[in-house]
Amino acid sequence: MTTSLPIRQPCPPGACICEREPLLETPGADLRILSLTRLEEKRLIERLENLQSLSDLERLQRRMYEQLGLRVEIVPGFNEVRTMRGINITLGELPGLCRKTRQSIPAAIRRGLEKRPEIAYELLNANDLLRDA
């Protein structure tokens, strides 16, 4: 008797661009992202909103990649960074990643950085904030 991991329920037809069905039909496809159920997504969002440090954020980025195959890149914007919106947060293209999840993860990271601005300052310093000084 084998038990399979629970996978995310499908989105309503026409409401999402996640390409879930073709992913399930492809033999040998990486299905890790489908293990991000709505309950697990809520836990992840809560964890991202309650960041404790830059190392905590980096650890979460690594775990998202290891467990879900999801690459999250967080870098200061090309222009001057005055608010958290000036920090670019991008998710790698990944079939099976729901459109809402694609929007909620960066929003949760921004909320976490707004709660703890010192993490944003560490991020800016780690990315050579003073390169032109």
Average confidence (pLDDT) over 93-115: 91
Q: What is the pLDDT of residues 11-70, one digit of tens each?
A: 877 778 788 888 888 888 888 898 898 999 999 999 999 999 999 999 999 999 999 999
Predicted TM-score (pTM) of this structure: 0.84
Between residues 107 and 75, the one the model is more confident about = 107
Q: State the pLDDT at residue 111.
A: 93
Q: pLDDT band for position 4 (50/70/90)?
A: low
C-beta of residue 18 within 8 angstroms of C-beta of residue 93: no
- Concatenating the DSSP letter of every residue in the chain gives ---PPP-PPPPPTTS----HHHHHHSTT---GGGG--HHHHHHHHHHHHT---HHHHHHHHHHHHHHH---EEEEE-SS---SGGGEEEEE---TT--HHHHHHHHHHHHHHHHH-HHHHHHHHHHTTTTTT-
